[in-house]
């Protein structure tokens, strides 16, 4: 397996983990005596119990979670183990709810959220070698949940699916395959549609989850070598990425400045008002639902939705350049997985659920129902092209896995991207980002704001 540096926890977080002594799989839900070791995963299933499982809303809405619970409960009925919906908001506050018994036993969430729970010992390090999925998942996906203490690695969740942006487009509106191969071609096509009063590529550029990727593509970064002092969003020519975003805004309309496009993208895509947008595979079924609402059969909707890897970028950072040298983009992504609460009274049954839910059969069913990309290599191979593309993007470093310390990034980043996206809609004399240097200076300011936000909380 390929290796790469992954930012999972900050230096301060690791230091705190060492001090609090979370250095073994034997974390406990309550206080314990000095030197006492608790091995929660004895291998002996707890019997006649109920497991509360927290899943995401899409899995509930589309029926996948019901199928998972039904299959697991049939398999483990002989032990008196029943898994049920925790019936909680997917963005629960495990830090405060867990100690009082209000949290789930097992939770499905993105890596950045799960890794935040590590600081307070709210999730339990897993014996991942005991899981059937262990050899079938690339190390880069496991690394999204890795915590290293005193040179020893621990893993706080089992990967289920890989999140990475893809381009969703209307096949019937595609003039030629070349349009979706580079941002230069898609920019030109979008400009042509705008002249006709239509829209080509549309995206809420305020959304830092996606927009940060353009800075990463040209050398910008967050927290180099796990050092939260090192914020490099202005480094190595990252202003080229800012220029790409400004140019993309110019062929959209002012709805790209806020979250309006995000809120209407599925319906506008279905109606044909938008040719393309970029989002993650887990919302694939929402495009299908909107097309079916307009009278498409499910088969017709699936046939109409085009999905492609993110287009390549011009090395120059100029979308108007003809015949540019192209480079692959680096987009922010993540890994969603199952973690076990440190407060569960049923760790062995919870581990059995995680093992079942990350099986090949469940990975394939999750893909079929939700369209997500399996983290399991065997399932991704059988799903085909785009699942393998996402997996390859992760292992090749073209998906930059979201670090755990993002809370202090979102607001200043969104403020910058809002200002940048607004620029093409200002009067020429009021435009702020006409040169690469003006963009670089703004990115330096963004770095300072993130740094200040981090250190204000220390």
Same domain, yes or no: 236 and 289: yes
What is the span of the domain harbouring residue 207?
Answer: 166-331+405-456
Residue 304: what pLDDT?
Answer: 98
Structure-token pair, residue 346: 């049923």
Degrees, nearest 5: CA angle 397-398-401? 70
Q: Is the residue at 4 inside a domain?
A: no
What is the domain count for the chain? 2
- Bridging pattern class, strands 106-110 and 49-54: parallel
The vertex-246 CA angle with 242 and 250, nearest 5°, equals 165
> Crossing angle of helices 208-217/410-422, nearest 10°?
80
* 437 and 302 assigned to the same domain: yes
pTM for the complete prediction? 0.83
Q: What pLDDT is stored for residue 93 in this prediction?
A: 62
pLDDT of residue 227: 74
CATH of the domain at 368: 3.40.190.10
pLDDT computed for residue 89 by the predictor: 63
Q: Which two tokens stand for residue 440?
A: 């670089």
CB 429 within 8 A of CB 255: no
Running along the chain, 458 residues long, what does each successive block of 10 average in pLDDT?
33 35 36 40 95 92 96 98 86 59 86 84 93 96 90 94 95 97 98 96 97 97 81 96 98 96 96 96 91 97 96 98 96 95 95 98 95 93 88 91 86 97 96 97 96 77
Give the model's pLDDT for residue 102: 66
| Angle formed at CA 6 by CA 168 and CA 40, multiple of 5 degrees | 105
Residue that terminates a domain, selected from 381, 397, 413 = 397
The answer to whether position 102 is within a domain reads yes
For 232-298, the DSSP string reads: ETTSTTTHHHHHHHHHHHHTS-GGGGSSHHHHHHHHHHHHTSEEEEEE-GGGHHHHHHHHHHTT--H
């Amino acid at each position: 397996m390929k290796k790469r540096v992954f930012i999972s926890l900050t230096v301060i977080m690791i230091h705190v983990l060492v001090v609090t002594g979370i250095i073994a799989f034997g974390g406990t839900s309550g206080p314990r005596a000095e030197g006492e070791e608790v091995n929660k995963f004895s291998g002996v299933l707890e019997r006649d119990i109920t497991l509360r499982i927290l899943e995401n809303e899409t899995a509930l809405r589309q029926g996948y979670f019901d199928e998972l619970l039904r299959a697991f409960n049939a398999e483990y009925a002989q032990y008196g183990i029943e898994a049920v919906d925790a019936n909680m908001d997917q963005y629960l506050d495990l830090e405060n709810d867990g100690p009082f018994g209000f949290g789930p036993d097992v939770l499905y969430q993105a890596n950045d959220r799960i890794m935040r729970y590590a600081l307070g010992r709210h999730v339990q390090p897993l014996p991942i070698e005991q899981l059937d999925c262990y050899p079938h998942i690339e190390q880069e996906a496991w690394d999204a949940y890795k915590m290293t203490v005193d040179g020893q690695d621990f893993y706080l969740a089992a990967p289920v699916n890989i999140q990475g942006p893809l381009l969703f487009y209307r096949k019937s509106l595609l003039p030629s395959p070349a349009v979706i191969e580079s941002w230069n071609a898609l920019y030109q096509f979008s400009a042509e549609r705008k002249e006709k009063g239509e829209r080509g590529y549309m995206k809420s550029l305020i959304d830092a989850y996606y927009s940060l990727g353009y800075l990463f593509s040209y050398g910008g970064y967050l927290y180099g070598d796990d050092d939260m002092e090192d914020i490099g969003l202005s480094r190595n020519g990252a202003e080229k990425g800012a220029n790409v975003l400004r140019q993309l805004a110019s062929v959209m309309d002012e709805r790209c400045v806020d979250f309006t496009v995000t809120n209407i993208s599925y319906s506008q895509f279905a109606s044909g008002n938008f040719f393309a947008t970029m989002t993650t595979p887990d919302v694939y079924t929402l495009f299908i639902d909107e097309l079916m609402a307009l009278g498409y059969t499910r088969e017709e909707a699936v046939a109409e939705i085009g999905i492609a890897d993110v287009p390549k970028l011009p090395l120059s950072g100029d979308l108007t350049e003809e015949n540019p040298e192209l480079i692959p983009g680096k987009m922010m992504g993540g890994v969603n997985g199952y973690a076990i609460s440190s407060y569960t009274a049923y760790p062995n049954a919870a581990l059995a659920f995680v093992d079942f839910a990350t099986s090949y059969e469940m990975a394939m069913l999750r893909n079929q129902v939700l369209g997500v990309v399996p983290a399991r290599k065997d399932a991704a191979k059988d799903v085909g092209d785009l699942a393998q593309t996402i997996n390859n993007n992760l292992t090749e470093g073209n998906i930059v896995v979201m670090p755990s310390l993002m809370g202090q990034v979102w607001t200043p980043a969104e403020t910058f991207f809002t200002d940048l996206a607004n620029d093409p809609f200002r009067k020429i004399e009021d435009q702020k980002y006409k040169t690469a240097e003006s963009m670089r200076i703004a990115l330096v300011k963004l770095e300072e704001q993130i740094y200040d936000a981090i250190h204000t909380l220390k």
